[in-house]
Amino acid sequence: MSSCSGSLKSMSGGKRRRSTKRSTRRRRTHRRRGGATVVGAPVASVAAPAMPNNSKPVTGGKRRRTAKKANKWSEFVKKVYHQGKKENKDYSFSEALQEASRLKKAGKMHM
């Protein structure tokens, strides 16, 4: 009987193995878009949307990113590169980095 029960388990279904192949479809991710939220404002109801009060601080919403300012090291390396490029057409930026590093260690890093 024991040999018979083993074959019945395989026929009864049991757990099905999932395929190891990943689905090619991408899942949709629902993101909430922009829209500023007023701190302390009552929750808007469907019938009457709440207008933001200008006296309360506004948080959230879309923000524009500002570009980072170049630091002194970057400016110095660019300066060394442009000077080297004037003298030699084949001057590379990696050579400028190495030269700028040597100048900085020697204490001659000035703008």
Between 31 and 104, whose confidence is greater? 104
Domain locations in the chain as residue ranges: 72-105
pLDDT > 90? residue 106 = yes
User: Tokens 């404002």 sit at which residue?
Assistant: 41
pLDDT of res. 25:
62
pLDDT > 90? residue 102 = yes
0.85 exceeded by the pTM? Answer: no
Q: How far apart are CA 19 and CA 109, in angstroms?
A: 61
Q: What integer best gives the mean pLDDT of the chain? A: 75
Q: How far is CA 56 from CA 48, 61, 64, 85, in A?
A: 20, 15, 21, 55
Between 28 and 62, whose confidence is greater? 62
Percent residues over pLDDT 90 in the chain? 33
Give 45-90 pLDDT, tens digit per residue.
555 555 656 677 767 777 788 888 889 999 999 999 999 999 999 9
